[in-house]
């Protein structure tokens, strides 16, 4: 299976949204997805996303991210979500998406890449540790809905 990873364009957003909804079920929090296709399209200049597509040009995975600025280290990139459709897992597509984000961050002179991982997702935690990520357990995420 050949996989092409590329930057998403607005025409991809409906496929990405469908995968986002699948991801929310995987995360056991489908009620948290409130974004609409219209909102994604209106915010497309803020919406950075790599997509993974198979030979049939079907989008089977994605990685969403955005630039940040950390007062302790400077310019950074935040990996918001990374997901591969279940039937396409175990083909290193998730790894390829992550490495694409890492390469992008390096090319953009980012000093760090940050992301969250669910405590129950031991497969992801093990992989992230294997590539050298430090999993901090000292901080808790705060979320304020506006």
Residues carrying an active site annotation: 128
* Of 81, 87, 32, 23, the residue nearest 54 (C-alpha): 87
* Of 55, 56, 61, the residue nearest 8 (C-alpha): 61
Q: Give CA–CA dist 47/62, Å, rounded.
A: 12
21 within 8 A of 33, measured Cβ to Cβ: yes
75 within 8 A of 38, measured Cβ to Cβ: no
Q: Give CA–CA dist 100/35, Å, rounded.
A: 25
Phi, psi (deg, nearest 5) at residue 57: 60, 30
Q: Give CA–CA dist 71/76, Å, rounded.
A: 10
């Amino acid at each position: 299976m050949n996989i092409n990873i590329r930057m998403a364009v607005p025409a991809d957003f409906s496929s990405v949204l469908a995968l986002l909804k699948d991801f929310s079920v995987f995360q056991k929090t489908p009620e948290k997805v409130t974004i609409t296709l219209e909102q994604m399209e209106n915010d497309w200049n803020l919406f950075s996303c790599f997509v993974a597509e198979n030979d049939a040009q079907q989008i089977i995975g994605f990685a969403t991210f955005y630039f940040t600025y950390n007062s302790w280290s400077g310019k950074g990139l935040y990996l918001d979500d990374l997901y591969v459709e279940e039937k396409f897992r175990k083909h290193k597509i998730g790894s390829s998406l992550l490495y694409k984000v890492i390469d992008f961050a390096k090319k953009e002179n980012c000093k760090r890449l940050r992301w969250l991982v669910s405590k129950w997702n031991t497969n992801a935690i093990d992989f992230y540790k294997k590539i050298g990520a430090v999993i901090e357990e000292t901080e808790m995420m705060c979320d304020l809905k506006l």
